[in-house]
């Protein structure tokens, strides 16, 4: 009798398993859809999360950092460009993470990698990096990032030089930093500045997703710098500016006009800097198949 | 007297080590340590920090489970099962019983933490070997000091457990009171300093009554946050030895006073 009953129970379990499997798949698919449609995640302000962490502030900071990495990783995977609201969420998250653990280096790297280049929120990035400078007093990289942002994005050479010099005085900083300030001031907002900076950032970074973005940008900037160099030679030899970029090819200063890896077309700004119509932003996939 | 306290401590310790829940807690801590090896690679630069964070979290959380489940059980068993009459008929005082039990609990936790620390060191060493370039700020000395303070925090919590076991009649009430003391103790500092900073900028002015209540609570409940050196260990920050000395003294003094109070109350207690 007991054997009969356990047979029925086994049968019931076997029957229920496919139903469970179906519901499990459905539930995960629903969650994936929901996460994609959600514009931003929730965030507990640091005054509360510091209390709620119950002594595990470092661990909570790690978890929150993984969440923000996954959030932007999902966006990049689905080719969804982040909205202004997403960037607000990013900034606030980094603020909370660095309130929980202000010595944590990774959030500052991510801020420099995304909030400046992708979001164009230079002042906000500098404010977050300044928090890192206050705590990581022996780390030359954070003042170096702020210095670069001032040079390249804000065109504030005085502030930029001040930060780079500050970085140069800190232990472990590369020996080229003192002269770099002068070089950056010379190049100013030109692409070569960013090429130098991105190479250093890439050498520092081990996250594949961020590295891919940085490498693509580095390639685009190296090509822009190549065109800028050719432009400078042209101006030096011919004592005039080119009318169209194709002139560089026809007069032999470039073998061919390099392609913008972001798919845009090159143009020249009045200050001699080369720009691309893509603005170095990855295009969203429009073809739905 | 010391001999009798030690004898009772050893019996308590043996009983604690035989508890099956200990294996569960070990498994949990080992799972977190294993998870650490898997998760470390998700981060970009500060892998050393993440590793130390996870290791210290595993040690301290396992310690909390030990105190809340094994220590409370060890304290309450005698009273719940009425074996207390048998124990107290032996030739030692009630005060010695309290101290003996407390030292026994400390030994159980010391044993468990020593085993977990071995695994933890192995985990850190293996992540260190996997990613040698990302451990710039790591220091074994600061890590071990942080582990010692985790242990001290649990010793404090044990004293609280012994105190509440001495005054309450069921282990459930002891559990609730000890957990509440821990949560208040670990978050008190943040709340006090937050209100102070807000009062300074006049954003939120806390009522005088609330301020006074917090002041009283801060005297009654130990400030567990003072024993938390996880961030210092994670980044290998320089330690202020005077601060550590004061914190250590503060903890030991709190334990001694609380246990003296517990023995006073326990002496007057009647069992039926």
For A93-109, the pLDDT digits (tens) are: 999 999 999 999 999 99
Domain at A46-222: CATH code: 1.25.40.10
Which run of H or of E encompasses A275?
strand A274-276
Q: Which residues of B touch A61 (CB under 8 A)?
A: 53
Res A98: pLDDT: 93
Res A278: pLDDT: 77
Query: Is A11 buried (19+), middle (13-18) or exposed (0-12) by CB count in 10 A?
Result: exposed
How would residue B11 be classed by pLDDT, with cut points 50, 70 and 90?
confident
Residue B235 contacts A where some CB pair is shorter than 8 Å: yes
Q: Do B44 and A54 touch (CB under 8 A)?
A: no
How would residue A174 be classed by pLDDT, with cut points 50, 70 and 90?
confident
Residue B197 contacts A where some CB pair is shorter than 8 Å: no
Q: Is the pLDDT of residue A210 over 90?
A: no
Which residue of chain A has the CA closest to B43? A207
- Alpha-carbon distance of B229 to B183, in angstroms, equals 17
Q: Which residues of A touch B50 (CB under 8 A)?
A: 62
Cβ-count burial B45-76 (b if 16+ within 10 Å, e if not)? bbbbbbbbbbbbbbbbbbbbbbbbbbbbbbbb
Residue B238 contacts A where some CB pair is shorter than 8 Å: no
How would residue A285 be classed by pLDDT, with cut points 50, 70 and 90?
very low
Sequence-distant (6+) residues with CB within 8 A of B60 are A55, A56, B150, B153, B154, B230
Q: Is the pLDDT of residue A286 over 50?
A: no
Of residues B141 and A172, more confidently modeled: B141
Poorest-pLDDT segment among B78-82, B140-144, B216-220? B78-82
Res A40: pLDDT: 61
Res A181: pLDDT: 65
What are A67's two structure tokens? 């969440």
Q: Which residues of A touch B183 (CB under 8 A)?
A: 54
- Please state whether A122 falls in left (phi above 0), alpha (psi between -120 and 50) or beta: alpha
Res A289: pLDDT: 28
Poorest-pLDDT segment among A37-41, A79-83, A216-220, B266-270? A37-41
Q: Do A69 and B190 touch (CB under 8 A)?
A: no
Q: Do B43 and A104 touch (CB under 8 A)?
A: no
Q: Do B224 and A56 touch (CB under 8 A)?
A: no
How would residue A204 be classed by pLDDT, with cut points 50, 70 and 90?
low
For B125-152, the DSSP string reads: HHHHHHSGGG-TT--HHHHHHHHHHHHH
Mean pLDDT of A233-239: 85
Res A104: pLDDT: 92
Q: Is the pLDDT of residue B153 over 80?
A: yes
Poorest-pLDDT segment among A166-170, A268-272, B48-52, B223-227? A268-272
Counting one residue from chain A and one from chain B, the pairs whose CB atoms sit within 8 A come to 74
Q: Which residues of B touch A69 (CB under 8 A)?
A: 42
- Give the best residue of A44, A59, A112 to mutate against chain B (max B CB count within 10 A): A59
Interface of A with B in 95-134 (CB under 8 A): 101, 103-106, 109-110
Q: How many CB atoms lie within 10 A of CB B24?
A: 12
**Of A178, A176, A157, A156, residue with least CA distance to A166:** A178
Most confident of the ranges A190-194, A234-238, B20-24, B176-180: B176-180
Which one-letter DSSP state was computed for residue B43? Answer: S
Report the percentage of chain A scoring pLDDT > 70. Answer: 85
Report the percentage of chain A scoring pLDDT > 90. Answer: 20
Q: What average pLDDT does chain B have?
A: 87
B45 to chain A nearest CA, in Å? 6
Poorest-pLDDT segment among A126-130, B20-24, B246-250? B20-24
Res A185: pLDDT: 60
B224 to chain A nearest CA, in Å? 8
Residue B195 contacts A where some CB pair is shorter than 8 Å: no
Mean pLDDT of A44-68: 85
Sequence-distant (6+) residues with CB within 8 A of A205 are A109, A113, A211, A214, B44, B45
Provide ipTM, 2 decimals: 0.81
Report the percentage of chain B scoring pLDDT > 90. Answer: 39
Parallel, antiparallel or unpaired: strands A274-276 and A266-268: antiparallel
Q: Which residues of B touch A65 (CB under 8 A)?
A: 43
How would residue A288 be classed by pLDDT, with cut points 50, 70 and 90?
very low
Of residues A222 and A189, more confidently modeled: A222
Q: Is the pLDDT of residue A269 over 90?
A: no
Most confident of the ranges A33-37, B45-49, B81-85, B258-262: B258-262
């Amino acid at each position: 009798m007991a054997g009969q009953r356990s047979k029925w129970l086994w049968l019931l379990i076997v029957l229920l398993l496919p139903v469970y499997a179906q519901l499990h798949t459905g539930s995960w698919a629903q969650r994936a859809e929901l996460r994609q449609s959600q514009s931003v995640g929730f965030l507990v302000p640091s005054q509360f999360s510091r209390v709620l962490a119950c002594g595990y502030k470092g661990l909570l900071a790690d978890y929150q950092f993984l969440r923000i990495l996954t959030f932007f990783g999902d966006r990049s995977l689905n080719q969804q460009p982040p909205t202004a609201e997403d960037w607000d969420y990013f900034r606030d998250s980094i603020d909370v993470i660095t309130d929980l653990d202000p010595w944590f280096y990774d959030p500052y790297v991510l801020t420099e990698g995304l909030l400046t280049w992708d979001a164009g929120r230079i002042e906000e990035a500098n404010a977050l990096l300044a928090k890192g400078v206050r705590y990581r007093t022996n780390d030359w990289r954070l003042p170096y990032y702020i210095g670069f942002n001032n040079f390249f994005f804000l065109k504030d050479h005085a502030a930029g030089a001040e930060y780079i010099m500050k970085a140069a005085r800190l232990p472990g900083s590369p020996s080229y930093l003192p002269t770099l300030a002068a070089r950056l001031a010379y190049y100013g907002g030109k692409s070569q500045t960013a090429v130098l900076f991105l190479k250093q950032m890439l050498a520092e970074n081990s996250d594949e997703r961020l590295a891919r973005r940085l490498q693509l940008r580095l390639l685009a900037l190296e090509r822009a710098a190549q065109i800028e160099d050719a432009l400078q030679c042209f101006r030096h030899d011919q004592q005039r500016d080119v009318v169209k970029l194709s002139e560089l090819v026809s007069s032999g200063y470039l073998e061919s006009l390099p392609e913008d890896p972001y798919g845009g077309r090159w143009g020249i700004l009045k200050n001699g800097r080369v720009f691309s119509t893509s603005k170095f932003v990855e295009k969203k996939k429009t073809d739905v198949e | 007297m010391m001999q009798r306290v030690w004898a009772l401590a050893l019996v308590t310790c043996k009983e604690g080590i035989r508890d099956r829940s200990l294996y569960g807690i070990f498994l949990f801590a080992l799972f977190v340590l294993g998870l650490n090896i898997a998760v470390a690679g998700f981060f970009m630069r500060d892998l050393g920090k993440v590793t130390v964070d996870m290791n210290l979290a595993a040690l301290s959380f396992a310690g909390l489970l030990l105190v809340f489940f094994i220590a409370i059980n060890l304290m309450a068993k005698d009273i719940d099962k009425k074996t207390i009459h048998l124990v107290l008929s032996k030739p030692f005082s009630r005060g010695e019983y309290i101290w003996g039990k407390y030292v026994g609990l400390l030994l159980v936790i010391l044993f468990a933490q020593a085993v977990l620390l071995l695994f933890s060191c192995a985990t850190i060493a293996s992540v260190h070997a996997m990613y040698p370039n990302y451990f710039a700020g790591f220091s074994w000395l600061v890590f071990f000091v942080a582990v010692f303070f985790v242990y001290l925090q649990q010793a404090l919590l044990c004293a609280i457990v012994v105190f509440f076991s001495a005054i309450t009649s069921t282990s459930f009430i002891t559990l609730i009171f000890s957990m509440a003391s821990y949560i208040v103790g670990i978050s008190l500092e943040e709340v006090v300093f937050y209100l102070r900073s807000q009062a300074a900028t006049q954003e939120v002015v806390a009522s005088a009554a609330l301020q006074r209540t917090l002041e009283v609570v801060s005297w009654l409940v130990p400030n567990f946050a003072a024993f938390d050196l996880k961030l210092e260990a994670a980044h290998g920050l320089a330690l202020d030895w005077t601060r550590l000395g004061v914190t250590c003294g503060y903890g030991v003094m709190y334990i001694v006073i609380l246990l003296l109070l517990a023995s006073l109350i326990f002496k007057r207690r009647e069992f039926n």
